[in-house]
Amino acid sequence: MSTADYEPDPQPTSPFFKVATAVVVVVALAALVRSILNEEPRGPMAGSYRTSDLLGQPAPAIKAAGWLNGEAPADDYFQGKVVVVDAWAYWCRPCFEAAPELIALHQKYSDQGVVFVGLTTEQSDVLDRSKLFLEKAGITWLNGYGAIETLIGFRADAIPQTWVINRSGTIVWDYSSPDSIESAVDRALAEK
């Protein structure tokens, strides 16, 4: 299915979604105020890249309320592996449009030991919509729902958003990085 054929559902209006949206808005506003006060450019379109304060920091534990397309990973599943984390939502058209690039990366790197995991803040009341999104997008790697704590830990202020974590559990790439996600994965794989 092409991205032109995908029509996302309207954004949900459940009380939980409203709280999750408020948290994301507050985090985004705090980042904006911080960047204004520090006179930093805001985002990659500002002409130069603003370095995220998460780069070089330990990644938060990857947790979810449940898993959409597989069993819950063991507590040590991500340890010692290069991990690509993708934040998404079933109603997010840009998330759907970003899927082909992630699928190509998954095809290239999954046999090299790179683990992909998707996370959404959506809850169990929209599992059918979330599963349909994954099916239509062609995403086959493990995806967790209700991953609010983890995405707050990543300071996810928008979706889609992606991070690369190296084998030692450090965030080495995010949306603010000037290089490509592919070069970050290559670097992380080359690290001993």
pLDDT at 129: 96
Q: 87: how many CB neighbours lie within 10 A of its CB?
A: 23
Task: Please list the pLDDT of the chain residue by residue as tens digits (192 residues).
Answer: 555 566 666 566 556 555 555 555 555 555 544 544 443 333 333 333 345 788 999 999 999 999 999 999 998 999 999 999 999 999 999 999 999 999 999 999 999 999 999 999 999 999 999 999 999 999 999 999 999 999 999 999 889 999 999 999 999 999 889 999 999 999 999 997
> Angle, to 10 degrees, between the axis of helix 93-109 and the axis of helix 127-137?
60
Instruction: Please report the sign of the dihedral spanned by the C-alpha atoms of residue 170, residue 174, residue 179, residue 181.
Output: positive
Q: What is the pLDDT of residue 157?
A: 86
Partner residues linked to 115 by β-bridges: 83
Residue 85: exposure state from Cβ atoms within 10 A (0-12, 13-18, ≥19) = buried
Q: What is the pTM of this model?
A: 0.75
pLDDT of res. 84: 98
Pairing of strands 115-119, 161-165: unpaired
pLDDT score of 192: 76
Question: In terms of DSSP bridges, do strands 115-119 and 83-87 run parallel, antiparallel, or are they unpaired?
Answer: parallel
Tell me, what DSSP letter sits at residue 169? S
> Which residue in the block uniquely carries the two structure tokens 């063991």?
74
Cβ pair 106, 127 in contact under 8 A: no
**On the CB side of 115, how many CA atoms lie within 13 Å of its CA?**
17
Per DSSP (E only), the strands in 82-128 are 83-87, 115-119
pLDDT of residue 52: 73
Tell me, what's the pLDDT at 53?
Answer: 84
Q: Would you say 39 and 119 are in contact if contact means Cβ atoms under 8 Å apart?
A: no
Interatomic CA distance for residues 121 and 8, integer angstroms: 16
Structure tokens of 107? 């095809």
Residues 6 or more apart in contact with residue 1 via CB below 8 angstroms: 136, 138
Q: What angle do CA 82, 83, 88 make, to 5 degrees?
A: 165
